[in-house]
Structure 1
């Protein structure tokens, strides 16, 4: 049978997975500066995933107010032991390494329990003898290595001093360690090479938890010699066993647009594991490569040859779907689903999308498809110059595009802008006289397109901007930009508090996957 990769499209890197019971799988990914932090997903078949919440939902758990873009929460590991879920991660902007616990993966999760040693990418391993190990990256660059120590799982206290157990394959950034005990053998899975084109997963094994470890002489997952492959930068894997004794790997990868620019960030992929006769796990086809349409000799459920994340939201519920993020912090007073039934109310603050380390009024979700349309009906009557509200597609403070209703020189306009490397330019505008306007951002494999319409009117194009300006490659590469593009709704007074709220009646998102499994194009997206 075949299934379609990525299984979780859009900005969802560093996946970690557990199985609970017969076939309930839970998975977490990194969230960086976005809040709530660490999204958690559920699946019955490993292929079709639904976000059920986020792990860190309170400021008592994590405070991202001063988090830089691509700061915040890194590389979570999810584990389950004796009825308790454990999520361990690194807040690089504050707390450092910590873990939280829950009896229900939907929450509530505990406040953080800090651990003393290590740099990033901590992982937990519960051994048969009751010992609990933290395995974590330490050092940097070519000096990066893996250390390990035993902890008291109730308090986070270290019971042993950290010991260096693995130095990788000679490449830089040996990280993302996971320790497993499978059929009496300890396996240490790591990422290496950095999260760019040299990224890879390597593995070693031992009869003892601290080694010495014998390393396999080749990566078990890499595309670093396949520059023309549609999937790049694969690595940072985690393993899980299904109810039938089959093993699987989840891992991150990217899908460069036209083999040039990475727009969507690092996404979550799935592949079967094959075991060699001498006890080594190999991902997918024993060559360490994976394809968008992936063949598996066994699947727990139906193939997922379908588009993902075509989702409408009419804002009729009292809570937003858990896929929505805020930027750093949710300022409660600026958001309401109850003030006006069936509408999302946003009140803009002084911060805008360009404010460094800012907390603008902004809700967003990862863009899951290169070819897509995101549109809304907004009602907004700005009361002073500078007030604006609309749609934004954001990579970071320096690189983002908007279409919005804005008051300029006393006139109400629909205006499209692009911010590239910190410089903001107008794409185009049109003076309007009505308060209710439909706004749209759509994209193909070259550009974003900005359109508006009266509530029952025809769409009018204001302009376009090249999507390459929001790519990782144009914004510091994978050594500086760890997120992907997010798209959402915002309001701002651009230096002042807004006097008037903005109301959003609905949002519609429709996307096309890169294999054209569904017949969607930019032209018929507009219908």
Structure 2
């Protein structure tokens, strides 16, 4: 133990002064666990020591430990309210700054039950902990958000790529709690997903409302190699949940369409690069003019995601820039005339993440919304990473408040970047009666379920408390694979449990549970039949060109007979996945574990368009022979 650490732990202020008098830079050292000296001082709870280090040493208070925790995190751990007040008010450290796991000093005060610190934070922030919300507001694969308010209801759409039903529509009354209520395309014949590679399909939708009707537009992205790579689709409905009209295609190249209706009732579609605009018919089905460029962008790199807002006589044009990875951002420009010229905001970018060690990364592609109480918010996409590398959950949806400057510019979260904890909008809380348990008792699937590309008639059905999957003719590595039944992975740590009937298999057929990113990267935990006519549990990995069975275990018999039903459990803890089975859901037997499933994310391999996120669910592979597999009692158990 070095001399300074020893003096800090002993709370020997005079000894600390002597050491720093001889070697001022000693305060910049870290202990064996990577903790800064100033944070160790804060953890002692000794106010005089922390004041001396702040005011008389060369310590820097923008440093963070390996977990991304600030000096204020350690101050809270001391339980000393005076230390917490000093670090908050005099040093300016934030009670709502999250570490790498999104844990803030406010969280720590709650978890440690330091009621005086909790009350202080509530008074300082003017919001009790219960009055805060945590970003992201939509966890898991909910990228490219677009939002609209109609009365007291809020509706959001997100990209769905090659998943069906296409383009989820979520509903909220408080902007915090959301429920999927429908999809823009629910007819398999209208999805046009057959033959599309993972990451293609429906990109960056926009939802708008005009004269009693909801309009959703999106880019339809085809595979590379054809004459046409991108088209725009428009659907509409008089109900937010649908059903929506058959997609109308607009043959204009570009991505990220949005629809803007001007005060005179004329309607326009915007597309990238930058923001190009052209007039469309009232029903959104026809292109009436050729596109013209409104503005290319503030940063001048990958400008996309254009949205127009008219307020106080100004046209405000919001753009996503910098690419959808780290460095993503939102910029705004404005003009008194629709077609410009547009002036750039002096505060740009109005939302971005500048600290690569923070929880929320890749923040951009946003759209503003005003509440019925005249509060303004921006929904935008973000990423969270495991080990700073792997965005397993895909791009998610976050939200922060917009304020308007004295000179009429919108800025997001006072230009502080994405928040982890933020005061809730002044809207009545509305929690939906949703569940991550599914016993398949209804005649239709829960709207959280989706498939890769659309299914054939009879491929998926719910009957007698079971989900019945008709075995796919193609393996999961083929874009012709059918009837995968999936849900978004919404947490870094969770358990997935399902009960299934033991299928009647032919050799090479198999069925079970799957962790799926796309046809290039997935893993299966399924029941197989080997050459000796015995049943086995196998764990199979597909990592680009690598295909391997990681584990294999014979399924035990009782009295010479196989069980009629079996429970399969996948336990997920960040990049580690463990696999178990049970006959009674009480006594679990481990099949195997994988310590690094890095490949179930966009960053896992470099191949094709990897813009989605990890999903989990159920599969059956029949090959050339018929196979039906039955599942029930599906549970997705979040581990906070």
Given the two structures, how large is their TM-score scaled by the length of structure 2? Answer: 0.75
Cα deviation for residue 336 of structure 1 reads 1.9
Tell me if the contact between 1:125 and 1:133 (Cα under 8 Å) persists in the aligned partners.
yes
DSSP-derived class of the 2:265 partner: coil
Q: How many residues align?
A: 495
In structure 1, the partner of 2:144 is: 14
Tell me if the contact between 2:169 and 2:180 (Cα under 8 Å) persists in the aligned partners.
yes
1:425 partnered with 2:548: yes
Cα deviation for residue 155 of structure 1 reads 5.8
Q: Distance in 2 between matches of 1:381 and 1:173?
A: 50
Q: Distance in 2 between matches of 1:107 and 1:189?
A: 28
1:258 partnered with 2:387: yes
Tell me if the contact between 1:377 and 1:455 (Cα under 8 Å) persists in the aligned partners.
no
In structure 1, the partner of 2:107 is: none
Q: Distance in 2 between matches of 1:330 and 1:468?
A: 29
Cα deviation for residue 152 of structure 1 reads 1.3
Q: Distance in 2 between matches of 1:64 and 1:300?
A: 39
Once the two structures are overlaid, the 10-residue window that deviates more, 420-429 or 50-59, is 420-429
Counterpart among 446, 469, 473 of residue 346 in structure 1? 469
Q: Distance in 2 between matches of 1:344 and 1:489?
A: 9
DSSP-derived class of the 1:361 partner: coil
Once the two structures are overlaid, the 10-residue window that deviates more, 163-172 or 269-278, is 163-172
In structure 2, the partner of 1:168 is: 297
Counterpart among 102, 107, 124 of residue 259 in structure 2? 124
Tell me if the contact between 2:191 and 2:454 (Cα under 8 Å) persists in the aligned partners.
no
1:107 partnered with 2:235: no
What 5-or-longer segments of structure 1 have no aligned partner? Answer: 139-144, 517-527
DSSP-derived class of the 2:287 partner: coil
In structure 2, the partner of 1:405 is: 527
Cα deviation for residue 222 of structure 1 reads 0.5
In structure 1, the partner of 2:584 is: 455
Q: Distance in 1 between matches of 2:520 and 2:593?
A: 18
In structure 1, the partner of 2:496 is: 374
The structure number with the bigger radius of gyration is 2
In structure 1, the partner of 2:77 is: none
The one-character-per-residue Cα deviations of 1:321-380 (angstroms, maximum 9, x if unpaired) are: 111101101122222212xx111111202212211x223221001100010011100112
Higher relative CO (Cα under 8 Å, sequence separation at least 6) belongs to: 1
In structure 1, the partner of 2:375 is: 246
Cα deviation for residue 59 of structure 1 reads 3.1
1:47-196 map, 5 Å: 47-93=176-222, 96-138=231-273, 145-154=274-283, 156-196=285-325
Q: Distance in 2 between matches of 1:454 and 1:92?
A: 45
DSSP-derived class of the 2:437 partner: strand
Could you list the structure 1 runs, at least 4 aligned residues long, displaced by more than 3 angstroms after superposition. Answer: 301-304
Q: CA RMSD in A?
A: 1.9
Tell me if the contact between 1:230 and 1:255 (Cα under 8 Å) persists in the aligned partners.
yes
Tell me if the contact between 1:88 and 1:124 (Cα under 8 Å) persists in the aligned partners.
yes
Tell me if the contact between 2:200 and 2:609 (Cα under 8 Å) persists in the aligned partners.
no
Q: Distance in 1 between matches of 2:426 and 2:502?
A: 49
In structure 2, the partner of 1:316 is: 441
DSSP-derived class of the 1:337 partner: strand
DSSP-derived class of the 1:332 partner: coil
Q: Distance in 1 between matches of 2:366 and 2:591?
A: 43
DSSP-derived class of the 1:253 partner: strand
Once the two structures are overlaid, the 10-residue window that deviates more, 408-417 or 190-199, is 408-417
Q: Distance in 1 between matches of 2:585 and 2:496?
A: 17
In structure 2, the partner of 1:525 is: none
Q: Distance in 1 between matches of 2:285 and 2:575?
A: 49
Once the two structures are overlaid, the 10-residue window that deviates more, 418-427 or 484-493, is 418-427
1:331 partnered with 2:456: yes
Q: Distance in 2 between matches of 1:476 and 1:245?
A: 45
Q: Distance in 2 between matches of 1:4 and 1:268?
A: 11
Once the two structures are overlaid, the 10-residue window that deviates more, 5-14 or 56-65, is 56-65
Cα deviation for residue 288 of structure 1 reads 4.6
Q: Distance in 2 between matches of 1:173 and 1:435?
A: 55
Tell me if the contact between 2:503 and 2:511 (Cα under 8 Å) persists in the aligned partners.
no
Tell me if the contact between 2:328 and 2:363 (Cα under 8 Å) persists in the aligned partners.
yes
DSSP-derived class of the 2:272 partner: strand
What 5-or-longer segments of structure 2 have no aligned partner? Answer: 1-130, 223-228, 556-561
In structure 1, the partner of 2:624 is: 496
In structure 2, the partner of 1:389 is: 511
Tell me if the contact between 2:468 and 2:631 (Cα under 8 Å) persists in the aligned partners.
yes
Q: Distance in 2 between matches of 1:369 and 1:44?
A: 24
Tell me if the contact between 2:156 and 2:169 (Cα under 8 Å) persists in the aligned partners.
yes
Q: Distance in 1 between matches of 2:169 and 2:287?
A: 28
Gap change, CA 1:161 and 1:334, over 3 Å in 2: closer
Counterpart among 403, 426, 439 of residue 299 in structure 1? 426
Counterpart among 405, 410, 417 of residue 281 in structure 1? 410
Q: Distance in 1 between matches of 2:434 and 2:572?
A: 16
Q: Distance in 2 between matches of 1:426 and 1:400?
A: 12
Cα deviation for residue 40 of structure 1 reads 0.4
The one-character-per-residue Cα deviations of 1:47-77 (angstroms, maximum 9, x if unpaired) are: 0001101111113432100111000000000
In structure 1, the partner of 2:160 is: 31
Tell me if the contact between 1:263 and 1:467 (Cα under 8 Å) persists in the aligned partners.
no
Tell me if the contact between 1:439 and 1:453 (Cα under 8 Å) persists in the aligned partners.
yes
Tell me if the contact between 1:204 and 1:215 (Cα under 8 Å) persists in the aligned partners.
yes
Cα deviation for residue 170 of structure 1 reads 3.8
Q: Looking at secondary structure, tell me which structure has more strand per residue.
A: 1
Counterpart among 290, 294, 299 of residue 418 in structure 2? 290
Counterpart among 571, 578, 598 of residue 468 in structure 1? 598
Gap change, CA 1:395 and 1:456, over 3 Å in 2: closer
